[in-house]
Structure 1
Amino acid sequence: MFFSVIIPLYNRPQEIDELLHSLTLQTYPHFEVIVVEDGSSVAAEAIVARYQDLLNVSYYAKANEGQGFARNYGFARAKGDYFIVFDSDVLVPATYFQTVIDGLERDGWDAFGGPDAAHRSFTSIQKAISYSMTSPFTTGGIRGNKRHVGVFHPRSFNMGLSKAVYKKTGGFKLARRSEDIEFSIRMLACGFRVGLIPEAFVYHKRRATFVQFFKQTNFFGKGRIDIYRMFPQELKAVHALPTIFTIGLFTLLLLNVFFVIFDTKGYFLSALTITGNMLLLSYSLLLFAHACMQTKSMVVGFLSVIAAYTQLIAYGTGFLESYVTDVLLKNNGR
């Protein structure tokens, strides 16, 4: 089996260096690598060139259109039986391709996705962000795993598809924002077998700061409404949970401020505020304890609480903003 690895790239030369290095360590050698520079102002051509003798790698530069169309550009030039899509900020375990082969032989997927994990070299913030994106106590339970909510949709940081899937679907139809979910839905609509290979994980760096992470997950929340507008049946009640959490959190903060300022003795509001505070504290302690057990670090455990709140608030506000502007107010701009 021959694989084509497609990597869209935009102003991340250091990341592509680390990713290509991880690919030189693969135990299964039958693959090519196609790097598509999508209008970067900081080109990585010289870095990619250093791997010419170590990998079967091709480099292409094109005008910026977004990662979805950059992947299509790579698909059109790929020779593999299966196309593997990676984001530039991943590291690939040495046995990845053999693991994929084993999973395909076992389950017969036409297209698949794999999970992500934190590498030991990641910063504490990156490990905390990785925890929040995979935890069953955050939207990690929504995104997809063995016990995922609804139909599994591969995500583009770690996605594979057969050449037949590409030929039938034509690849990505959206340039960016939820382009992988839309693509997955069309794969399934065409009758292809799409599923998870749980052992085929990659180490996903994601963002280096909580500010960057907020912007990214806010984008994800908006993207869920994009999907709803195209495929209304794909929106589930569980997708609104971060928004409900965010509204509840800000309501609780206002109640606490109200009681500090006015020192009210109202029994109902007092009980409601105290109960809310206790629930919030219990949730935070649950996150901290679980993250400490998962990461073996109290520092990462503490940062994971911050990451989880950042994720839920960012996703929730992005979801709510797009729902109001694009659905209620029917603003078709993106």
Structure 2
Amino acid sequence: MRKYSIIIPIYNRPDELDELLDSLELQSFKNFEIIVIEDGSKLRCDKIVEKHSKALDIKYFYKENGGQGFARNYGFEKATGDYFVQFDSDAIIPSDYFEKVEKYFEHEYLDAYGGPDAAHESFTDTQKAINFAMTSVLTTGGTRGKNKNLGGKFHPRSFNFGISREVYEKLGGYIITRMGEDIEYSIRIIEAGFKVKLIPEAFIYHKRRTSLKQFYKQLFFFGRARINIWRFFPKELKLVHFFPVAFTLFVLSIPLQILIFRPLGIFSLAVLLLFLLLIFISSTIENKSLTVGIKSVPASFIQLFAYGMGFLKEAIAGKS
């Protein structure tokens, strides 16, 4: 039976880890170990790990802060399993997650895989709105959660990312610790000839950020990370990645349009409002909630605008 090593880097989030470990205790497939890497946290989670140590095969390590990529590398070094699965600490894992992965491998083995994320019914309306902003084709252009999309090949992300021991032994781990480290690693795995796909059934519940302010900071960082990935792999910068930049420049230009040629500015503002109305309608229908639909409007605006601002900042900084 295949043994999985679950790698969880964590930084100052003991409460999140507690909820994640609760969900892992409920797994129908039990052949796994858990490796928690405390990445220089001030709010340590050793007591949380101890709480779950009787129910789970769990190991805890503390290291100086070095970022999530290098924390995962530390976990890889300590892992004894055949397959390494990475989860972010703000995840909740459905009870049949590993059962579904095993079932998929019965008919198609993968050297590496990723899975989609979803919003749990217990999440706040803001978290559900943020989930919509990160997964809707209106905001991300279908680049997440599909094997084929406008952004090119599917690249597993670190919140839900499995690799075989063979991949690790051949390629090593992460070579950058932040700024798109998971996409860089995914591209390297694909270019080495390993078989990589999305397993649609292997989804997790992903809490992401709990406030729009935190979400803005995260998406600004994601925009910067896309430029960083381009530095390693220039061909991986696709047309779809410029959509948030175009949106950001369009929004910033509206006041100027109104000053120079008012009718054009009013038309542009109407286009923006129509787009936001479409987001509201789409999210309300998808989430069956008027409140989530309303909150999806600012969340989606932030998703595009913050990403675009981060993209532009990093691109300009790279030229200076």
With the shorter chain as reference, the TM-score category is over 0.9
Shift of residue 122, structure 1, vs aligned partner:
0.8
Equivalents in 1 of 2:94, 2:227: separation in Å? 34
1:77-116 correspondence to structure 2 within 5 Å: 77-116=78-117
Is 1:316 aligned to 2:308, yes or no? yes
Show the counterpart of 2:240: 238
Shift of 1:142: 2.5
Q: Say if 1:81 and 1:162, in contact at 8 Å, map to a contact too.
A: yes
| Counterpart position of 1:302 | 294
TM-score normalised by the chain length of structure 1: 0.93
What secondary structure does 2:314 align onto?
A: helix
Residue 168 (1) aligns with residue 164 (2)? no
Distance 1:183 1:6 in 2: 15
Aligned ranges for residues 221-260 of structure 1 at < 5 Å?
221-256=223-258, 258=259
Partner of 1:141, secondary structure, is: coil
Q: Retained in 1: the 8 A contact 2:280–2:297? A: yes
The AA in structure 2 aligned to 1:227 is I
CA distance in 1, matches of 2:23, 2:134: 23
Give the counterpart of 1:157 among 146, 156, 159: 159
CA distances 1:275-311 after superposition (whole Å, capped 9, x unpaired): 2122112211110011011111110001001100001
- Measure, in 1, the Cα distance between the counterparts of 2:106 and 2:73: 26
Q: Distance in 2 between matches of 1:166 and 1:90?
A: 23
In the alignment, structure 2 segments of 5+ residues that lack a partner are: none
Partner of 2:142, secondary structure, is helix
Correspondence for 1:325 among 312, 317, 320: 317
| Partner in structure 2 of residue 28 of structure 1 | 29
| Residue aligning to 2:64 | 63
**How far apart are 1:146 and its partner, in Å?**
4.3
Structure 2 distance, partners of 1:296, 1:253, is 35
- Alpha-carbon contact 1:132-1:140 (below 8 Å) kept: no
Q: Deviation per CA, 1:80-114, whole angstroms, max 9, x where unpaired?
A: 11110000000000000011112223332110000
Q: Does 1:41 align with 2:42?
A: yes
Aligned in 2, Cα 1:140/1:125: closer, same or farther, shift over 3 Å? farther
Q: Deviations over 1:206-245 (max 9, x none)?
A: 1011110000010000000001111111111211110111
Q: Kindly provide the amino acid, as one letter, of the partner of residue 92 in structure 1.
A: I
- Partner amino acid, structure 1, of 2:142: G
Instruction: Choose from 175, 181, 184 the match for 2:186.
Output: 184
Deviations for 1:256-284, whole angstroms, at most 9, x for unmatched residues? 4x27xxxxxxxxx3442232122112211
Paired residue for 1:217, among 216, 219, 235? 219
> Is the 2:7–2:87 contact (alpha carbons within 8 Å) kept by the matching residues of 1?
yes
Query: What residue in structure 2 maps to residue 201 of structure 1?
Result: 203
Distance in structure 2 (CA, Å) of the matches to 1:109 and 1:231: 23
Aligned to 2:143: 142
Return the alpha-carbon distance in structure 2 between the equivalents of residues 55 and 138 of structure 1. 39
- CA deviations on 1:292-333 (whole Å, 9 max, x unpaired) are 11111110001001100001010000001111111x22xxxx
| Alpha-carbon distance in 1 for matches of 2:273, 2:317 | 33
Unaligned runs of 5+ residues in structure 1 are: 260-268, 330-334
| Contact 1:152 1:195 survives alignment (8 Å) | yes
How far residue 162 of structure 1 moved from its aligned partner, in angstroms, is 0.4
Q: What letter matches 2:310 in structure 1?
A: G
Q: Deviations over 1:49-101 (max 9, x none)?
A: 01111111111111111110110111111111111000000000000001111
Give the alignment's Cα RMSD to 1 decimal: 1.2
Runs of at least 4 residues of structure 1 off by over 3 A? none
